Amino acid sequence: MKARELPTYDKLLLPLLEYAKDGRDIALDVAEKYLAEKFKLTEEERRRKKPSGRETIFRDRIFWARLYLKRAGLISYTEKEAHYKITEEGKKFLEEKNPATLNTKILMEFFPSFKQWQDEIKYSKKITRKGKKTASPQEYLGIVILIDTLGTKGILKKRDPNKIREEWREFIKNMNEKAIQEFKKLGNFSFDTFSDTILITVGIKEKEYPLYKISGFLRSFVIESMRIDRPIRGCISVGPIIKDDKIILGDAIDEAVVYHHLPQWVGISASPSAHIEIEKLYHENREKTNLYFQKYDLPLKMSVEQGAWVINWPRLVEKEIEIREILAKRILETKSDIGNALKWRNTVNFFEHVMEEIDDS
């Protein structure tokens, strides 16, 4: 007998929002149990795993539904890990619209923040200028580096806005100049920023990804981002990229968009496609690979990625004292912000893990 289809993420949007309408702080586990009962799911259906075998399909779809509601401004994440609550905008939407259903189209129509998000991650349809035709998008093989900053919310209340903007502009300028120096000669290079997000694409001519060069480029910027209190996290992915003067699409982009926000720390990790390529490097030259990448059990939003490959930024041991001072300061500053405090703790744990390995070698 064919297995019954589980509810898609868009089917979960409205019940997930309505469940929070009384303003309670709701744990994701509690919401999952409620939704499972609402959709009359069996225990087998709730436990059905994704092809990766790491997460259940149902919980993954709840995660995406919750993310979509947050991006629309209908809910907010609370200080407790994996908790959410309805916002005033969410209450107003339920009261005034009394929706019978909720989906991506409705979110795009009523909530500008959601539409902007969709545009930024390149999921919106191609927009062309009236009366002009654009050249056919070019498809090529390449690397995607997708980065955003941790703890942006509320930073303007804690520090001088002018200084924050100036430091971030300088950070972007330096990263762009270094990226041009390192990667432009490879072809199909682009460096784009929007809000607190950085997107770098690097084309390659043959299926030999310059991953050591990518790691060497990124790790000093991880440390610099912590120094200016705009810590970066993100991922690298590899595969097909489709690009013209207005859009960047393709499997490598899609994978990076989905994966990059999952790790709960400060650092850059390898998406599944990049993980495969780094594994190949590791089997060819373990010593060199371990200088640039670290295999680590990486904390994600709702699980742990066992044996993930991540950029080995703590290997810059000449900066050890500075890094320890930065980490200690950030831990103290975020102790009242549970979500960020946990991310910084995860970062400290990773740093100490690498330092122990260096000391033992």
Domain residue spans of the chain? 9-120, 138-360
What would the pLDDT profile of 214-243 be if each residue is shown by its tens digit? Answer: 999 999 999 999 888 889 999 999 998 887
Average the pLDDT over each of 100-104, 205-209, 251-255, 295-299 and give the range with the smallest value. 205-209
Q: Residue length, the chain?
A: 361
What pTM value is reported for the model? 0.62
Please state, in angstroms and rounded to a whole number, the distance separating the CA atoms of residues 331 and 37: 40
What would the pLDDT profile of 252-271 be if each residue is shown by its tens digit? Answer: 888 999 898 889 999 999 99
Strand residue runs (E) in 180-231: 190-194, 197-203
Question: What's the CATH number of domain 138-360, 3.90.228.20, 3.40.640.10, 3.30.70.1230, 3.10.20.600?
Answer: 3.30.70.1230
Average the pLDDT over each of 106-120, 155-169, 243-257, 340-354 and give the range with the smallest value. 155-169
Q: Which residue has the higher pLDDT, 150 or 270?
A: 270
What would the pLDDT profile of 78-92 be if each residue is shown by its tens digit? Answer: 877 778 999 999 999
Is pLDDT at 129 greater than 50 in this prediction? no
Q: Which residue has the tokens 């259940």?
A: 56
Please state, in angstroms and rounded to a whole number, the distance separating the CA atoms of residues 10 and 12: 5
What would the pLDDT profile of 52-64 be if each residue is shown by its tens digit? Answer: 666 789 988 998 8
Average pLDDT over the chain reads 85
Is pLDDT at 17 greater than 60 in this prediction? yes
- Residue 121: what are its φ and ψ, rounded to 5°? -90, 15
Is pLDDT at 309 greater than 90 in this prediction? yes
